[in-house]
């Protein structure tokens, strides 16, 4: 089992951009070209709510990055099979250890400044525990 990536897309609040991305990924998944499913999420990054996604690192590198969906994204979170999370800085091309991605029981345990992800498919909240 490989790594997963949590990311948002450029101009995610623009319905046309969001639609183009989801249609692109849906076509690839329906055609059996992706290694996994792209999972829509909601999360907080630097204190701001945003729509985000989880995909395999392989799919992210093969079907998201080359198509220009994340050209202006500052960073993504890469999560290993063991739950260890790394911040990958897209602009500086660096990687830094964050901690372990863990599930939290309620949204009351979340800190918007530290960031968190809500997986709608599972109804569960996650954040990085240092």
- Please tell me the distance from the alpha carbon of residue 87 to that of residue 69, in angstroms, as a whole number: 18
CB 83 within 8 A of CB 101: yes
Outline where the chain has alpha helix (H): 15-30, 57-59
Mean pLDDT, all residues of the chain:
91
Q: Taking the model in full, what pTM does it have?
A: 0.90
* pLDDT, tens only, 43-73: 988 888 999 999 999 999 999 999 999 999 9
What does the alpha-carbon distance between residue 115 and residue 113 come to, in Å, rounded to a whole number? 6
70-118 pLDDT, tens digit per residue, is: 999 988 999 999 999 998 887 667 888 888 998 988 767 777 677 899 9
Domain coordinates of the chain in residue numbers?
A: 4-129
The gap between the terminal CA atoms of the chain, to the nearest Å, is: 23
């Amino acid at each position: 089992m490989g790594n997963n990536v949590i990311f948002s897309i450029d101009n995610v609040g623009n319905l046309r951009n969001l639609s183009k991305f989801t249609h692109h990924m849906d076509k690839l998944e329906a055609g059996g070209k992706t290694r996994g499913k792209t999972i829509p999420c909601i999360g907080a990054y630097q204190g701001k709510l945003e729509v985000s996604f989880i995909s395999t690192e392989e799919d992210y590198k093969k079907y998201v990055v080359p198509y220009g969906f994340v050209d202006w994204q500052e960073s993504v979170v890469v999560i290993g099979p063991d739950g260890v999370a790394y911040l990958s800085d897209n602009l500086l091309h660096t990687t830094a250890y964050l901690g372990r991605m863990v599930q939290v029981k309620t949204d009351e345990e979340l800190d918007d400044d530290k960031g968190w992800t809500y997986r709608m498919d599972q109804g569960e909240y996650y954040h990085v525990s240092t």
